[in-house]
């Protein structure tokens, strides 16, 4: 036996295991790439190729295909939002992306940027600076109104926006009987901002047109709320990853009670204008309030998007579902194709004796989570519901709804209509205040 062979003998015991590990890793990577390609193809074939909100755009000239972004996504491995194909990362399932932004942070070569909208579909976003201040001095925006609908992101923005407010207030003088900060909205961003304001010993007040929790408070009962751990001032880490509306609302209410958060409700802000002493005068449904700074933590769904059809003013039409039991035994029409619409339909379908029809103008439920899409398909298969894709409501009557589908019109027997078509950005309110609104077409 030669000396060179003798020299390698001590290492022979390690070669086979190492080779086996490399082989397994190679096969695992190949399987992941096949899964990414399948997810990409299925999304395109189903028409689910449009991201709903903030989403990543990958620079393939920089991407090294390391899969760091794939594994950083909080939706992984349940959903293949990102995947590596042909050595580069891709947004393989755009409709599953809900704007976590973890992929950008994880990328070691800076190949990812986060954008709103696409070249084909614009998204209206108020113009804000890095410190969350708008073009109007003293007015700040955080949360869903600024495009951050994800609960964790809204909470983070609410807390960080108060840092911007503190810097701004440092350059102004206190005014007797005028609060330092008026927070408009008591949803995730507003509650987080209130806690941060209290922790910073600011004189603050929250005004809320409805109730604590904002949009979340009006989700259907037992709705799963997808969130992630987030930091609240004073209360600390909020350790939820997937929980129900009821659990999350109980937590927020307990936090608000424990730290004695000041909320004036119901009270809706109707206008903002500068006061002669440099403060801001906020008109509300209860009168006029003055503040040195204002944080708008409004939800984009505060103004429901309407259908604009005859009969929509009838009392049988609602824009959210609070308690499915109220409609037991009724003939229901749910209009919309997002998660809120599908979850409302599912909740109604589970109510004894209720007949449910879902109407959506597109050919697929492109903005809904896969779990909800699968449940809707199963619901229709069981025969206790009906799905009308590529359909529109023409008119609403007391006992029927006029529908259009495939170039034909027909009447649908109906008791109640739930419209879940999303919310409209309160553009008139923002323009009245003087805040610039931009339409983003795949831009940051």
Q: How far is CA 260 from CA 230, 256, 280, in A?
A: 20, 6, 25
Closest among 110, 58, 98 to 74, alpha carbons compared: 98
Enumerate the CATH 3.30.70.20 domain ranges in the chain, comma separated: 3-115
Query: What is the distance between the alpha carbons of residues 268 and 326, in angstroms, rounded to a whole number?
Result: 27
Count Cα neighbours of 123 within 13 Å in the Cβ-side half-sphere. Answer: 22
pTM score, two decimals?
0.67
User: Between 376 and 1, where is the model more confident?
Assistant: 376
Query: What is the distance between the alpha carbons of residues 146 and 144, in angstroms, rounded to a whole number?
Result: 5
* Arithmetic mean of pLDDT, 307-313: 94
Q: Which range is least confidently modeled, 77-81, 137-141, 251-255, 393-397? A: 77-81
Q: Is the dihedral of CA 31, 36, 41, 43 positive or negative?
A: positive
Q: Which region, left, alpha or beta, applies to residue 121 given φ > 0 means left and ψ of -120 to 50 means alpha?
A: beta
Question: Coil, strand or helix: which one is 44?
Answer: helix
Query: Which pLDDT belongs to residue 123?
Result: 73
Q: Match 């399948």 to its residue by tokens.
A: 38
CATH number of 124-303+425-440: 3.50.50.60
Query: Which pLDDT belongs to residue 149?
Result: 60
First to last CA, the chain: 67
Q: Mapped to the 3 state alphabet, what secondary structure does 189-244 carry?
A: HHHHHHHHHHHCCCCEEEECCCCCCHHHHHCCCCCEEECCCEEECCCEEECCCEEE
Q: Looking at the predicted structure, is the pLDDT value of residue 198 above 70?
A: yes
Report the DSSP beta bridge partners of residue 401: 396, 412
Mean pLDDT across the chain, nearest whole number?
84
* Arithmetic mean of pLDDT, 193-211: 94
Q: Are 379 and 365 in contact (CB under 8 A)?
A: no
* Arithmetic mean of pLDDT, 338-350: 89
Query: What is the distance between the alpha carbons of residues 252 and 230, in angstroms, rounded to a whole number?
Result: 13
Q: Give residue-wise pLDDT tens across range 232-270.
A: 899 888 877 677 778 888 888 999 999 999 999 899 999
What's the topology of domain 306-421?
FAD/NAD(P)-binding domain (3.50.50)
Closest among 197, 195, 196, 170 to 181, alpha carbons compared: 197
Q: Looking at the predicted structure, is the pLDDT value of residue 112 above 90?
A: yes
Query: Which pLDDT belongs to residue 58?
Result: 93
What's the topology of domain 3-115?
Alpha-Beta Plaits (3.30.70)
Query: What is the distance between the alpha carbons of residues 272 and 388, in angstroms, rounded to a whole number?
Result: 43
Neighbours of 318 (CB within 10 A): 16
Q: Give residue-wise pLDDT tens across range 5-42.
A: 455 555 555 555 655 555 555 566 677 777 778 777 77
Enumerate the CATH 3.50.50.60 domain ranges in the chain, comma separated: 124-303+425-440, 306-421
Question: Coil, strand or helix: which one is 158?
Answer: helix
């Amino acid at each position: 036996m030669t000396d060179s062979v003798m020299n390698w003998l001590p290492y022979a015991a390690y070669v086979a295991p190492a080779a086996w590990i490399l082989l397994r890793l190679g096969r695992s990577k190949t399987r992941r790439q096949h899964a990414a390609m399948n997810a990409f193809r299925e999304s395109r074939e189903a028409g689910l190729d449009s991201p709903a909100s903030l989403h990543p755009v990958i620079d393939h000239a920089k991407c090294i295909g390391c899969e760091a972004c794939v594994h950083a996504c909080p939706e992984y491995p349940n959903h293949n939002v990102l995947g590596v194909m042909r050595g580069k990362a891709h947004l393989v399932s755009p409709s599953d992306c809900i704007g976590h932004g973890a992929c950008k942070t994880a990328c070691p070569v800076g190949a990812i940027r986060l954008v709103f909208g696409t070249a084909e579909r614009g998204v209206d976003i108020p113009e804000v600076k890095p410190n969350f201040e708008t073009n109007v001095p003293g007015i700040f925006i955080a949360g869903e109104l600024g495009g951050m609908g994800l609960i964790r992101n809204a909470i983070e923005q609410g807390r960080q926006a108060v840092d911007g407010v503190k810097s701004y207030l440092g350059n102004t003088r206190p005014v007797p009987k005028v609060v330092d900060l008026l927070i408009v909205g008591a949803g995730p961003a507003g509650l987080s901002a209130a806690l941060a304001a209290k922790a910073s010993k600011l004189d603050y007040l929250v005004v809320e047109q409805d109730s604590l929790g904002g949009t979340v408070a009006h989700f259907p009962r037992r709705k799963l709320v997808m969130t992630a751990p987030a930091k609240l001032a004073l209360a600390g880490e909020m350790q939820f990853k997937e929980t129900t509306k009821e659990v999350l609302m109980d937590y927020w209410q307990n936090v608000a009670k424990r730290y004695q958060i000041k909320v004036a409700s119901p009270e809706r802000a109707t206008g903002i204008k500068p006061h002669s002493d440099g403060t801001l005068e906020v008109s509300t449904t209860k009168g006029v309030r003055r503040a040195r700074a204002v944080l708008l933590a409004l939800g984009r769904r505060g103004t429901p998007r309407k259908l604009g059809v005859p009969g929509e003013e009838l009392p049988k039409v609602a824009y959210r579902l609070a308690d499915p039991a109220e409609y037991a035994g009724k003939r229901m029409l749910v209009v919309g194709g997002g998660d809120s619409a599908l979850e409302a339909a599912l909740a109604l379908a589970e109510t004894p004796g209720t007949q449910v029809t879902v109407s959506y103008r597109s050919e697929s439920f492109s903005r809904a989570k896969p779990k909800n899409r699968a449940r809707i398909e199963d619901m229709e298969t069981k025969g206790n519901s009906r799905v009308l894709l590529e359909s529109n409501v023409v008119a609403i009557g007391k006992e029927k709804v006029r529908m259009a589908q495939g170039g034909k019109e027909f009447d649908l027997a109906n008791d109640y209509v739930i419209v879940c078509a999303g919310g409209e950005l309160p553009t008139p309110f923002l323009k009245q205040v003087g805040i610039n609104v931009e339409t983003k077409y795949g831009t940051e």
